[in-house]
Structure 1
Amino acid sequence: MRRLSFTLFLLAISQITCAQGFSYQVDVNNHRAGSYRISTEVDQNIHTFTSLEFSLLTLQDSLNFSSSSHFVESDSGFLEFVSWTTIFKDTLRYQARFESDTISYINDSDSSTFYSINQSIVLGPDKIRKLSTRELDTVGSKLCYQTFSTELNQVVEVTRELLSYSVEKAQKLRVVKQTTGSTSTISKFDKEFNLVETKGQSSFGQISLIRTNKTGSSQFFESDAFEINRLLSNIRFPDPRNISSVKLKIDGLDSLSSLTFKQHNQKITFQDSSSFVLIVDKTKEPYLQSDTTSRSQTELFFSAVRGNEILDSLGIHTLTRNEKVNQIKGFSKNLPYPNLVLFELLSTANIPVRIVYGYCYDRWFWISKTWIEVAINNHWEPQDLTYNFPPNPALRIALFKSQYGSPLSHSYLEQIPVLKNLQAESFSLGGKKYSVSSQVFPYYFENPVYENEGLGIRMNIPDGFNILNDGTETASDLFLALENDYDEKINCFQVIASGQQVTEKTAKEKIYEFIGDQNINVNNDKKLNIWHGYKGNFGAIVIPQGRSYLLITIKHEDPEFIILVLTRKNLNLKF
């Protein structure tokens, strides 16, 4: 049923043509899932080329669908030849040739099937566009025609009806209902009947195509999927791996019920219908044998046979469960979509595993994504191979968890609702509770202080940074190296100047050299006698000290943090 529903939607878009090349974004429930492209070329005949790439993650499977087609029609608009390729688990290639009153239909196995038809009424895509432009000019007007569906591999009858007009971005569009059998889609066309937008229903939810100049890959398989759900955090947590609990205020979720958040480590208090407080801690849910009373084989990327072949090659059969998990993790992390590969291989190895969808804290943001949980040591342990360190359950909000052993369904996609606003109110770290105050910049906490009496420097270490080099291990220009879990760095050097005194030219040259751009503005704080400049993710400070100078370089994702360091409001340099 899911396959049929999706096929009927593809049938609808396959009849959408244009007199030139256009690209379209494919969305599922307002989330990017792929792209559709179409173009027309004319020689002795009219050639229409289409391509569709579509990737979708559900709890039942991962749908990776792509197709391409080539329609050839005579100058009078009747189909003469169609070839198409469909990749959905298997690669299938077909041809359909229209001769006299029959269609010769050939697939990969070279077997031929002949259909008896009236060839003169099977129209090509460009002819359909031209007829629609001429016939659908008043509200209520209809056009009926026959064409060939590469999705259903047969001739189909289609009805188009002009419902209304709309004006968008100073352009008059025709709103058209297109019906094939019992399936209908609503589309918007420009004056030449080139598609602008279309929407339809499938078993996955609402699918839409929107014309765009730039298309992107599916969000469902990106490590930081669902970019529209990337919420700015009001705090950059210090030492995020060791946060034991966090209290969050969430607004604008009228569509969600409290059941969504009833997870083992989550407690919810509603303030009104759309605002509530959520407390998340790092306790792990106990694993019960009843969780695995039955199971269904999940095939995402491999067949069951291929999955077992991979497990055999890893030599896991004599290992303990923990050793098996680690071995499979090592294999999966080097492949595309590592979490999904890990999920499938663990399922094949009969190790209890489930998919979790929700939000996780990542530097300045709360990002919606998918990770998995594995039953290890009598608890469900979160695993996320897109991160370099173990996930902290206290900084992950679980919206949906698959039930191991239960039938998996597309209800996963119905649980993708957008968190409208998410603000931390407090958190616990090292046995202490901290309140998050409201500030213009994300909140920082004063970390340990670094002091170097020889250089006369005192410095507050910014949140999350660890000291890698404190100038005592080796004799070098680098006397202090700071780094955090996200490969962001602050390095401090003491350099002997070549001249008698450090000049403005020397200061600018060192800043230009680090940032890699001589066109940036380098500012001078005359009162403190320091020079600083930044661009993008890089910043630098030069502090003259007679015949030497201090050079502080910063690599950081957030320009606001760099500004804070450059202006000493967070780094708190004293010399």
Structure 2
Amino acid sequence: MKLKLHLTPLLILLSLPSFGQPQQYRITWNNNKVGTYETNHIYLDTVRTTTTLQLNYRHDEGTTQAYVRHQFYELSYGALVSVSTDLSVLAGDTTQFIYYTPDSTRAPSYSPSILGPYGLQQLSQRQLNQVGDSIQCLAYSPDHGQAVPLWRTISSYEIILAQKYWIVQDSIPGKRPIESIYNQDFVLYSSIQNSPIGRLNIQPLRPIDSLIQFMSQSYGLKQLPSNIWLPDPKNVNAIQLALTTTNEQNSTINLTDNSFTPLPIDSMKLAQTTASNTWLNTQDLNYFSIADSLTRTLTTPEEIAYQLTLYCRSLDFKHPSLQLLKLARSIELPSRLVHGYYYQHGQWVRKYWVQIGIADEWVIFNPNPHSPISSALYLPLATSDLYTGILPLFDLPMLTSIHTLNYLKDGKAHRISTKQEKIKSPYYENKGLGLQLDIPKGFHITPLDTTRISPLFLVLTSDNSHISFEYITPPILSDNYQTHYLQQWNNASHEITTLKDLKREHYCIKTPHQVIIMIPDGSSFYLIKISGEHREEALSELIKKNLKFKE
């Protein structure tokens, strides 16, 4: 077990936690892979760090398989309470022992407290800030099974993927010094130990698309109903929202379509928005090949970002935002991931989207299939370039409601009234869209599936007829678009006409099976479909007496 004897001094050093995410490492001995190491951290009333070491290597006496698991329990200020160890060298041969520190109840100001991984990390963050800084403390050593003096010094630094890392030397009595590389939060990046039996190297595993498993996890409600349907959402200039969280905390937020979010000025921070990291592998040449073939004839960053967005939206990616992030970074476009809600058809939908650096600011690019909206209707809750880990993407409030208080559209203010008005029955009013109608005789409102994101907002049904109302926002609403849209129901015998009794601008097609009415509304339009045996009678009653639009 010579390898184990030389490896165990590293365990206290490797155990430094990265909050909210497991750290996985590959262990090589003389350039041969011999095992893996994983550390995970949970912060409850105490701090618990779990480390798992697995070894499988050959030596003169045969093959050895070893499994070592440590659980460190520490108080919130870092003093070690206990260490539980499971050690197995042969299958079925497991030894367990527990170490209790004699001074775990001492006050945090008492310096001789024995430190665990969390305490050592916190002490390093507080006192090691530049090359030459050093600390001395008591730390638990799995090799000794007790606390030992530990000397830690920052000997130099190194720039890795645009981030500054400390080169740290750790010394324990009776052991060779260990040189390791840490980020500035003192999470281990790699470590090398030279010994009489060879060179031991610990390096991080970089699983491809390791972020996907976290993005796939359910977090909060996927959509929240809006209290109104917003009219012409492409032209909403600003909106004021009232937010409520699961613990019933309320807040108000203002969103505008002209907000300016600058790119980082610091060159190192800017480089982090194009670099690969533990959670995001953008060095795959396949991504560069795709991005280059899509954009090589384009000249401006806006055109390039838009083309990449269309590509990700056109294919059936499980996480299109992650694909867009990789494609953008593969050609050195600054980009970062955003987690939040955006407005769609009377709902606030929780999704990921991407911000790409254009000129000197961050600009929204949404590769998810969606109806076009103003940038004022994006509610970002968490933003991350992924370089500091994934935790910021999930450290967001759990919302239970998003309520529109007022909004600005085409420069005109609209305040949402909370006054309850008496209405006659049967009657329907959509205050957001400004649509009012007396429900035609013999018709009733059919309940809709509120879990679906759809432009359909009202369905009226009778024994022999059916009326549906949709509110659609296309990418561009032009005369050509309207003509082409209606032509899907049109042929040589069904011309586009207008209705005498409908005063608002509109287009109408009558087919043998249904009547279709398109009513433009800014950059959007209402689409009314009437089908069934008595569709002409239903159309007449709807248009002549009932259908009203209010600005």
TM-score by length of 1: 0.42
What TM-score, normalized to structure 2? 0.44
